[in-house]
Amino acid sequence: MAFDWFKRNKSLPAGETSSAETISPVAVGPATAEAVAQAEALSDTPGKGLFSRLRQGLTRSREQLVEGVGRLVLGKKVIDAELLEDLEALLLQADLGTAATREIMDSVTERVRRKELTDPNALQAALRESLLDILRPRAQQWSPEKGRSQVLLMVGINGAGKTTTIGKLAAHWKAEGFGIVLAAGDTFRAAAVEQLQGWGKRVQVPVVAQGTGADSASVIFDALTTTRARGSELLIADTAGRLHTQGHLMEELKKIKRVLGKQDPEAPQQIWLVLDAGTGQNALNQVRQFHDAVGLTGICITKLDGTAKGGVVAAIARAVPIPIRYIGVGEQVEDLRPFDPESFVDALFAESKP
């Protein structure tokens, strides 16, 4: 790998109405009190700075990666092959993946070879620069368009935080003045419909729903009809959680795209995959499978506060040319943040507070 150069030359010195509606072609019960309470809890925002929330959310990843580098260079006088081998192992353990790790190691080693990097204590700064080089091309923010009805289809496996992410996006864009409609397209689980209705009630946006077991494409088609009739700018459609390896369920996503296309040839305008950062390198397999099936236009990475595998953000950025739209670093609405590489890396490398 990148440090092989040292083995050949060891002599070189190293330095998102007033009340929400449930629009139901097939009647379903209203959102349960529990579902509403959960949405309300996630919408209550403590008075804490946005950067502080991001920094706190990335604590475990910082401990794994940045502080890990600090431990590697402690007492080191030069950057040698052994130090670079340890750095490579650390990057892989932090789930940066082989491609991102190789790019970073190649950059660091080349700078050492040119004697542009000689001080082990400067490795963190070099790592920061290399991460920004990988992340910047994937930072492309997206918002609904005024005066036009669009569809954002949310996909992902069970447990990734898809429905919660939809609720937070609805809150964010409604606060910006956009008309939002939600579609309860996850018809396999009654709890999923109730959860989305809970968010609709809290955020005060309409939710189009049918009964459990209804055809998901039909629900979302009806929701688009409602969105256009209301003159709302955005329909955010939930879909059933599925494993990326379940071909028959992936085919249902393709059906949803075909059915929406009969009403609007451009719909869905956006298809975003929600990923749980804690899945580590398996997240890359999910991205590739969903992208092959439906053509992703964005990725949301959630639960970064619950894992030390924050490096997976870099792994995804390096492996696939798909924008990272939002990252989740906590339970509150404000903890779902548009992805900004500089803020992300600054928070990752921020000094720990006692």
Segment 209-263, tens digit of pLDDT = 998 789 999 999 999 999 999 999 999 999 988 665 566 778 889 999 999 999 9
Could you give the CA distance from residue 306 to residue 60 in angstroms, rounded to a whole number?
Answer: 7
pLDDT by 10-residue block (mean), the chain, 354 residues: 42 37 47 48 52 88 91 92 95 92 95 92 93 97 95 94 96 97 90 93 95 91 97 96 68 93 96 93 91 95 89 94 95 92 92 57
Positive or negative torsion for Cα 265, 216, 194, 208: positive
* Exposed / middle / buried, residue 238 (Cβ in 10 Å: 0-12, 13-18, 19+): buried
CB contact at 8 A, 337 and 329: yes
Supply the angle between the helices 282-294 and 312-319 in degrees, to the nearest 10: 40
Q: What is the pLDDT of residue 277?
A: 92
**4 CB neighbour count, 10 Å cutoff:** 11
pLDDT digits 0-9 by tens, 253-296? 999 999 999 999 999 999 999 999 988 888 999 999 999 989 99
Q: What whole-number distance in Å separates Cα of residue 26 and Cα of residue 345?
A: 47
